[in-house]
Amino acid sequence: MLVGISFVGIGLALWAGGNVDTAVPAAALAVAGAAGLAAQELWPRLRRPSVPVPLPVGDPLVGLRDAFRSGRLGRQTIIASVASLHRGLGEGIRGPLSLEEERRLIRASAGEFRRWLEGEVTQLESAT
């Protein structure tokens, strides 16, 4: 379209000949069309490329594995992952753990936490 505007402006300027009242606006139209075309072509090159958001290294399962290796410090991540899996299966009716229950699980012994986790995994497996 901009090329067409430029050609129309050039054609009108040539057709006007010595008539300055017609030739000047036609030449301005041709220049505007050419400037628009140049801007359209150069804009993607002049525009700064957006900086991509760095992706976290590894899979979410890597983070979960690290949470298991962290002992009590990683229990909150494990509890949040289990809650996320329940929500993903549409079991949001059960609701998230209460703050007291979550704190109890974080302070629980390794055996008690493992029993809770095994029960949750069993529930998730039966729901799939």
- Cβ neighbours for 19, distance < 8 A, ≥ 6 positions apart: none
Residues 47-65 have pLDDT tens digits of 766 666 665 666 677 778 8
- Cβ neighbours for 14, distance < 8 A, ≥ 6 positions apart: none
**The model's pTM:** 0.50
Residues 1-52 have pLDDT tens digits of 777 777 777 787 788 877 888 888 888 888 888 888 888 888 777 776 666 6
Domains of the chain, by residue range, sit at: 2-46, 60-127
Whether the CB-CB separation of 13 and 27 falls below 8 Å is answered with yes
